[in-house]
């Protein structure tokens, strides 16, 4: 069953608010990353403290991984919004049939039915 206009606008609103939330997270993480980088340089100068560096590196790579995940999600959300504009939203990329509304509510940027993702 194709999605109604009401369902489409509900999902668009969901995508928009999720986009805003993640955009904020990415900005925070970017700031954190650049702050921790400059702190390391300022605090330690030419001296190297192996222990501190290890922790810094760990935290930085954790933040970087988190940011990468969020950036990827942001791209998925943008792609979903493009499909909404193009009128191809909610169509499974595997079999070309409509994705159920419940799945899209849970995962508005879904490209396929749940069963393909699990397989
Ligand atoms: Zn499918």
Task: Count structural domains, the chain.
Answer: 1
pLDDT for position 32:
86
pLDDT for position 119:
54
pLDDT for position 10:
97
Say if residues 77 and 15 touch (Cβ distance below 8 Å). yes
Distance from Cα 111 to the centre of ligand 1, integer Å: 9
- Domain residues for 55? 5-118
| CA 46/CA 42 separation, integer angstroms | 9
pLDDT for position 99:
96
Largest Cα span, the chain: 65
Could you list the pLDDT tens digit for every one of the 119 residues in the chain?
A: 689 999 999 999 999 999 999 999 888 888 888 887 776 655 555 555 556 678 888 888 888 898 899 999 999 999 999 999 999 999 999 999 999 999 999 999 999 999 997 65
Distance from Cα 91 to the centre of ligand 1, integer Å: 8
Distance from Cα 74 to the centre of ligand 1, integer Å: 23
| CA 2/CA 99 separation, integer angstroms | 8
Ion ligand 1, residues whose Cβ is below 5 A away: 92, 94-95, 113
CB atoms within 10 A of CB 87: 9
Distance from Cα 100 to the centre of ligand 1, integer Å: 10
Distance from Cα 35 to the centre of ligand 1, integer Å: 44
pLDDT for position 44:
54
| CA 79/CA 42 separation, integer angstroms | 40
Distance from Cα 39 to the centre of ligand 1, integer Å: 49
Q: Residue 84 has which token pair?
A: 């909404």
Handedness of CA 19, 98, 105, 115 (dihedral sign): negative
pLDDT for position 56:
82
The predicted model scores a pTM of 0.77
CATH number of the structural domain spanning residue 65: 1.20.120.910
């Amino acid at each position: 069953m194709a999605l109604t206009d009401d369902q489409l606008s509900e999902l668009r609103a969901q995508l928009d608010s999720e986009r805003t939330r993640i955009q904020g997270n990415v900005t925070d993480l970017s700031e954190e990353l650049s702050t921790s980088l400059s702190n390391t340089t300022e605090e330690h100068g030419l001296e190297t403290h192996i222990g501190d560096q290890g922790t810094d590196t760990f935290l930085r790579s954790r933040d970087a991984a988190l940011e990468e995940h969020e950036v990827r999600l942001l791209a998925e959300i943008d792609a979903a919004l493009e499909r909404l504009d193009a009128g191809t939203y909610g169509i499974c990329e595997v079999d070309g049939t409509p994705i159920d509304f419940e799945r899209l509510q849970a995962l508005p940027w879904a490209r396929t039915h749940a069963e393909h993702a699990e397989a």
